[in-house]
Amino acid sequence: MKPSAITCADSTLALLRDPYRFVSRRAAELDDDVFETRLLLRRTTCMTGAEAAEILYDPTRFQRAGAAPPPLQKTLFGQGGVQGLDGERHRRRKAMFLRINQPDRVEALAEVVTREWQRAVGDWEVAGQIDLYPQVQLLLTRAACEWAGVPLPEAEVEVRTRQLTALFDAAGDVGLGHLRSRAARRAAERWATDVLEQIRSDQLAVPDSAAASVIASHRESDGRPMELRIAAVELLNVLRPTVATAVYITFLAHALDVHRAWRDRLAQGDGTEDLAFIEEVRRTYPFFPVVTAIVRDDFQWRGHHFPKGRRVLLDLYGTNRDPRAWEHPDRFDPERFLGADPGPFAFVPQGGGDPAVHHRCPGEPISTRLMGVALDQLVRHMEYKPGQPAAPIDYRRLPAIPQRGFAIQQIARRRS
């Protein structure tokens, strides 16, 4: 049995300097998929690769309760949400999200986003040049609220967009950025609570299939409605990741600019290769850096000891680029997704396993479908030019986006 040696006194600063590549680079240096370090002075085990992902998603070995660091609970996830549940409570809450994300509901959202995108293009034409990332946040906030049954007066669009964006765009900051994210969490939960109170008291009528209605009427395993504060957290767990798709859409535009032969190929195609391009963007571009879990009971794996209560980090970005699972992993090649399914633990941009059972994001179909809307609009319904050559991705930022954003100019609707 080999010990998991502490790689350094504390790796917190190293992780903050390179959050997406820290685990895979350290693992490569050690020539081991598993290593132990300290993060925020706490002993932590880090893992990478498809086999490690399959282990981490084994609910008999790992739990999610208590896994997320408190700063992320108070910004990104909210306290009491589905990400921190296990067992029957998790399955029942996850079933609620799967109901919200049924294929017909995802398609309904795509229709709203298409309409909002077409409306936004008119504004972008007038502006002449825009930064795509914040503009997509605005249109996704409008669309997500309409689809979810959340009233959003035009006068509140910008403030609600700032609040929802701060939950993911500033959650990983330190200092003032993190404080702004926590303030946004408090304000957004008050907003969501008010909406849910109105639905439960019949002051606000929304369709039964809308996310706000499903959450307001959801019953926990004891037969009682969710506590209102937690219901508000879960409503934001629908709105926040929908708006966060702006990150992926910005990556999509960046990839179309860098890989112009593919842009031409998609523009001339019939749409059958769109999803392959989208999946390769999700594989190669950084979104979530890691996921966390807590060891349930002592066990051994690959010669390493995993003690009860140990926090474990799984490297998502590195697993998506693992040469053992991906041929030429650093090459951008959408054709790899025109073949066999890579498997639920080799391709983990939003978690691994089965979303109905494991802690894989149930909103993944929304991400891919809204990226599909954006791809269709960018290559077939718009004319534009990048404002500058495609900038490198800023890997130190959470979430990572292109340095200086992604500006486009000379924007116009494409005339058929």
Can you give the residue range of the structural domain that contains 188? 12-413
For the chain, the maximum distance between any two Cα atoms, rounded to a whole number of angstroms, is 67
> Is the CA virtual torsion 113, 119, 123, 126 positive or negative?
positive
Residue 210 pLDDT: 98
CATH code for position 325: 1.10.630.10
Residue 271 contacts residue 278 (beta carbons within 8 Å): no
CA atoms of 350 and 361, how far apart (whole Å): 6
Mean pLDDT of 125-152: 97
Helices (H), 221-311: 228-258, 260-268, 274-284
Q: Which residues pair with 175 in a beta bridge?
A: none
Length of the chain counted residue by residue: 416
Mean pLDDT of 10-23: 94
How many CA atoms are closer than 13 Å to the CA of 329, on its beta-carbon side? 16
When pLDDT is cut at 50, 70 and 90, the band that residue 385 belongs to is: very high
Residue 256 contacts residue 263 (beta carbons within 8 Å): yes
Residue 290 pLDDT: 95
5 in any annotated domain: no
CA atoms of 336 and 334, how far apart (whole Å): 5
1 in any annotated domain: no
Mean pLDDT of 233-239: 97
CA atoms of 391 and 17, how far apart (whole Å): 19
- For the chain, the average pLDDT equals 93
- Looking at the structure of the chain, the number of domains it has is 1
How many CA atoms are closer than 13 Å to the CA of 410, on its beta-carbon side? 6
105 in any annotated domain: yes
90 in any annotated domain: yes
379 in any annotated domain: yes
Residue 378 pLDDT: 98
CA atoms of 23 and 291, how far apart (whole Å): 12
Q: Over the stretch 334-381, which tens digit does the pLDDT of each residue have?
A: 999 998 888 889 999 998 877 665 666 778 999 999 999 999 999 999
6 in any annotated domain: no
4 in any annotated domain: no
- Pairwise pLDDT comparison (369 vs 5), residue with the higher score: 369
Residue 1 pLDDT: 42
> What residue has token string 């969490």?
185
Mean pLDDT of 238-260: 97
> Is the CA virtual torsion 265, 266, 271, 276 positive or negative?
positive
- Name the residue type at position 352: G
2 in any annotated domain: no
Residue 328 pLDDT: 97
Residue 75 pLDDT: 85
Q: What is the Cα Rg of the chain in Å?
A: 21
Residue 221 pLDDT: 85
Q: Over the stretch 155-209, which tens digit does the pLDDT of each residue have?
A: 999 999 999 999 999 887 878 888 999 999 999 999 999 999 999 999 999 999 9
User: Distance from CA of residue 378 to its chain's centroid?
Assistant: 21
pLDDT at 5 over 70: no
Q: Is 402 exposed, middle or buried (0-12, 13-18, 19+ CB in 10 A)?
A: buried
To the question of whether residue 361 is assigned a binding role by annotation, the answer is: yes
When pLDDT is cut at 50, 70 and 90, the band that residue 73 belongs to is: confident
CA atoms of 244 and 49, how far apart (whole Å): 25
